[in-house]
Each structure stands twice: as structure tokens, then as C-alpha cells.
Amino acid sequence: MSITYFEDKRVFSLDTAGTTYQMQIGKGDYLVHLYYGERLEGTAESVYTYNANIYCPEPMDLPPGTLSPNMLMLEYPASGTGDYRTPCIDVIFADGSRALDLRYSAHRIYSGKQPIEGMPSAFAGEKDIQVLEITLKDTVKDFYVTLVYSVSEDTDSITRSAYILNKEPEPVVLKSALSCCVDIYGGREYDLVRFMGRALMERELIRTPLTQGKLSSESVQGLSGHSSNPFIVMCGKNTDEKNGDCMGVMLIYSGNFTASAELEPHGNARVTAGIHPYGFSWRLDNGETFCTPEAVISYSSYGFTRLSDNFHRIIREHICRGSYSLKRRPVLLNSWEALIYDFDYDKLMSLADAASDCGIEMLVLDDGWFGKRNADDCSLGDWIPNEKKLGGTLANLAAGVNERGLKFGLWFEPEMISRDSDLYRAHPDWCLQCPGRTPAECRNQLVLDMSRPEVCEYLYNSISAVLSSANIEYVKWDMNRPLTDVYSAKLPPDRQGELYHRYVLGLYGLLDRLTSDFENVLFEGCASGGGRFDAGMLYYFPQIWCSDNSDAVDRLFIQYNTSFGYPMSAVSAHVSPAKSHQTERSMPLETRWITAMTGAFGYELNVTLLSPEERKEILRQTDFYREYADLFLKGRYFRLNDPNKNDVAAWEFISDNGETAFVGAVQRHFSPNNCPAVLRLSGLLSGACYDVSEAGRQILTGVTGDVLMKTGITVKYRREEYPATYFIITKEKSVNNE
């Protein structure tokens, strides 16, 4: 059993292969957190102490001096009754009161995790996952919160969500409804790791010691955003890749969010995550339920690498769906940096011919194929192919690409609308805009009101008509601006606070229909690059364009930081032109290839302009990628050298059986008279012997895994601009296996 209830102690224990999470129905029927850490034999209630503290209110239904809510380690704290830390829930009852005192009411344990209606969530697959539901009830009002926990034993992960039910005769308004809380003893001993940044430099790793007060990663842009990510890590002061304890919290959500760690005055910490309260309110009529997005938590006592491995597996195996979730994706060429808007049928066929010669497997036509779109100031919303520009129908274009041995894909930006579009002229009220105000434009576009069923129905019909009209096998789904003027003409004034969340629900509903109806299409997410790189989108898209910055050196940092929570199979990465469009930095083709091959691999350049030697080199690269694609897609991933601290950035993929490994290394800086960089490998079989080749040339034979992991391999410094190399490590076959 992965979930056990010890009735005599009123303790719940949630056990995975390597961890234990425990809570107790404590004094006064408060649901208190006991323990989260390494697998525990027994129960931890003996370490829990109840305190009534000076200047902390006490419940009137308990004897004086029993406890203060502000001192409790609570599983789902509420506001208004004596806990002054960050609450998970804040409500306004019909009488205007905002006090909520949640106590244990009932629980049940069962097998078979169910999806959350209308939202992405981790799925069980073929595994029999156990679920715990604990219902809390307010002491006065007929108001309930059911906490739902599911246990993924093999990934050392627990998912959490909350169902909030109003049985009061009058409506109740939610002002905050977070997904989870984990209270932690001794918070001063921890750091908080967040992944912040900006457009073109997403997910910068920020590690901050906890001091009294609150640290958060959050977005109020209507999407998870470039400047923050709904994934945080609490870790010990000395935790590194292989040592120390750490806990990750990841929200499966794509809208406004908050994920925070708060150190309270008495030294304990509270970690919470969920929908951001900014601009949020939700009316619950009698009998109605609100469900929060699901959060995934995981713990490692073996450093960041083990924690990352847990999240990589749960995303690959329990969040990503569809035919491409664990299937090799075709090597693609995107037309954007090759042609921008300047293309016609002949130019696209020339691009396809050159791509085919290079071993590329798919041509993706980016922006500019619809309406009168030859610049970014028109036609969004008019998803009608420009047959004059394309030299015929999309079916004809796709057939031409297919005849050259390539698959064909298209770019869309469905959530946006141009003022200069037939759609805007017909339905100006379909965009987000406040009465009496001219809505703000960003990148020459407005935002469609995705909370309106008729908008989502229009988009479904338009996109499905295009996808049905031709042999289209890939869709790049872009979103190029945040939300402003968040007001819907369809919602009454007292429900405008629901719009941010209803927008996300409308988007999820549309994506669910399209990805189900076109299950053989590979969908890729994008939001000006990595502006919506989250587990919610990965439920519908098995890969996301990691950043609009495809400069290989900058990508070393972006991809390194992204890997802490997300598998590299989800990271779209392309070889861009020799001179980067974003930074104007020039880099060798080998370096751009080795860096891009870290993720879902492709090209973003004009292959018709390459020399015969360069085309031959790309053919070699694509052949190499196909040979090792399964390793990159499903292998364990190790960060060997931090590019923030080392001249040489390096990473490793290794097969689950430990027999084959790939190591990539890029020299991002040259220091004269320096020693070679030493890369100590991971995940090899200690007693097995391995052969090592560098860039196709064998350099070592019969070296034990133990030696490679403890002494390592070396990367020599080169007097060049950003040189790169790679190693293949292969286990020698035993005589009996030959």
C-alpha cells in the first residue's frame, strides 16, 4: 500500500519508493503536516508539538493554551481565524464575513486516479495509482474543501489539488484558491531556487537564502511568462547536484500563478503554489465546486540530479500524452529565420529540396501563409491560406513538400487578433477590452477572449478546416504577447474576476479537442519562445520552443536551467544561422549542432545558402541524431558542468541500462594557460568496462565505469571561438553476449 491510515494515531502516510509524506488529524481536528523526506518506517507524530504563543489568537472551542493556528503546520491554511501566514484559501461569504476555520471531516482511500475536468493533470497510465481524499469543513458555515493526494511510487512524486464546495444557501466568492501548502520545520536552513529571467533569456536560476519574509516566483500576465516559471525548489544550504535534500513544487497550470516560500518569525517555512490571487475571484453558488490546478511535489535526499530525474519521468510518462510523447520527433527545418515573410511556392520548394539533401525530415512553414499577412500588423484571426502567395492550395504545397520526402507543418497564433483582419471587423467585441478604453496593443495585436465559447468554436472550426485540407503533420502554436484590458463583454460585472482563469480553461478545452481529433499531428508550444513553458502546456504539446533566442552560447544557460524541472525531450532546440539573429554572435556549425541536439532537434536557417561542405556536414549531423535519438528522448540526463561557473559547459545522456552515454561539451570562454576541463561522468555501471570515442575517434578502451565517474574524461582548451566536442561511451560486450 502506498497510502496508509493509522487509525489509532490518526496519521496518514503516503509512501513512494524513496520518500514518505505524513500528516495527522491533530488537536481540534486540524489537519497538520508531520513529515516529508526520505522513506520513513513508522510515524512521525511524536516530533510534533502544539504551541499557544503570545500575541497569537487561540480557537474558542479548545481549552486555553492548547494551540494557536499561527503556530500550526497546516496542510491547507485558511484566512481570517488566526493564521497570519500565506493562506491557501480566502473567501467572502454572503454576509460579508471572511473568516474560515477548516477542520477534518472525512477521508477515503481508493485506487485509480481520475483526471481533473477541464484541466491538465498527471495521469496514471497503466499503473494502479492510489489516491487519498481528505475533506475539511468550516466549523460554522456549510463549506468544504476536499484535498486530493495521489502517489506516484516510481517517480517519488505526489500530486495535490483541492475541490472547494459551497453548500451555503447563498453564493460564496473565492478570493484565493491555491493548490498546495507544505509547512517545513527549520526554514532558516533552506534556500529557495527560482527560475526567473526575461524574454530571450528565460529561466535564469536564482538561489536565495530564506530570511524572514516571503520570496516568490509569480506571473500576473495571463500566462506563466518569460520572467518566472511555475516550478520552485526548496533546498538545504549545501545541496548540490549529488548531495543534500531538496523539494520541488511544480504547478500544472499555464495562467497567472504564484509559488512562494515564506519564513515566519518563529523560524518555520511555508511553501505554497497555485493560481495567483491578483485579479482573481470566483463565485460559487449553492452546490457548486471549484477545482484548483494540480501541483506535483517531489523530494530528493541525493541532490538536484535525483530531483530533476523525478520530474523528468513524471512529465514524460504521466503528463505528456499523444503519439509523440515517447516517440522520436522528425528533424525539422523551420522557415522563419530562412525566409521571414518573403516566400512563394518556388522558394519553399527550393528550401525543401535542400533540406531533403541534408537529411532533414520535415519543413515547417512559419508565419505569413494566411490572409494578406506579409508583415506582423494584419490578418491574425483570418486562418485562410493565401493561395496567390502559395501558388495554389495548401494541399498542393504539402504535396510538393511530401514529394521531396519531407513531412509538412504550419505555424498558427490562434489566441491573437489583428485590428486589420476580417475577424476583427466582424467581431470587434471578441477581443479583451475594457468599456470606454482603447485596448493596448503589443506586437501589433490584441488578445481574443478565450473565455467565450463562440470564440473557441470559431478557432476550432478554422484550425480543423486547415488541418483537414492538407497533409499537415505538425503545428507550431504561438502566443506573442501577455494579456491586458482583461474584461469580457460576455461576463457580468461581478464575475470579471473569473476571466483570467476562464481564459486558460477555454484554451485548454480548445487544445483538448484539437489534439484529440488530430492525434497524429505533432503539436509544439511557443509563446515568443519560452513565455509559456510549463507542465500545463506539456499535457497537450510534447515539446515547447524553449526560447526565441537560438544563439547557441545563450542556449547553454537557458537549457541548463530549464533541465532542473523539465526533460530535454520537451525542449525544442534548433541550429540557427552562423551569425545569430538575436545576438549577432558567430559560432561554428559543430557548436550550434551539439547545443541544439540537447533537445527536440531541428534547424532554423536557409539551407539553400549553405556550401556543399556545410550541407554534407548537416547530413552527417542528422544521421547521427537519428542513431542516438532514443537516448536523447528517453535517457537519464545529467548536468556535468554549470555554464554559470565553468568555462566549459557539459551535459550527459545515458540509457536506463547504463550501457550507452553521450556527453556534449562547449567551450564558452578561453582562459590562457589553463588546465583541461575534467568531466566526471554519472550513471555508468561501476564494474563494467567502457570504450570512449571523441567526435568519432576512439580515445579510450576498457575503462571501468568507476574510473570514468571518479576520475573523468578531459576536454582540452582550444584557441577558437566557442569550440565544441562530444563523446560516446559504450559498454564493452562480454564474451557471452558477443
**Which residues are known catalytic residues?**
534, 614
Q: Do the Cβ atoms of 633 and 653 come closer than 8 Å?
A: no
Q: Which cell is 573 given? A: 532546440
CA quadruple 61, 67, 69, 73: dihedral positive or negative?
A: negative
Q: Do the Cβ atoms of 713 and 679 come closer than 8 Å?
A: yes
Cα–Cα dist 232/732, whole Å: 40
Cα–Cα dist 673/632, whole Å: 34
**CA nearest neighbour of 276 among 313, 251, 248, 245:** 251
Cα–Cα dist 296/252, whole Å: 7
**CA nearest neighbour of 648 among 551, 560, 522:** 560
Parallel, antiparallel or unpaired: strands 246-251 and 522-525:
unpaired
Parallel, antiparallel or unpaired: strands 636-641 and 697-704:
unpaired
Q: Do the Cβ atoms of 481 and 442 come closer than 8 Å?
A: yes
**CA nearest neighbour of 219 among 294, 277, 133:** 277
What string of DSSP letters covers 643-702?
TTT-SEEEEEEE-TTSSEEEEEEEE----TTPPPEEE---S--TTSEEEEEETTEEEEEE
Q: Is 192 helix (H, G, I), strand (E, B) or coil?
A: strand
- How many Å is the maximal CA-CA distance in the chain? 85
Cα–Cα dist 653/660, whole Å: 8
Cα–Cα dist 26/72, whole Å: 10
What string of DSSP letters covers 506-537?
HHHHHHHHHHHHTTTSEEEE-BTTBTT-SHHH
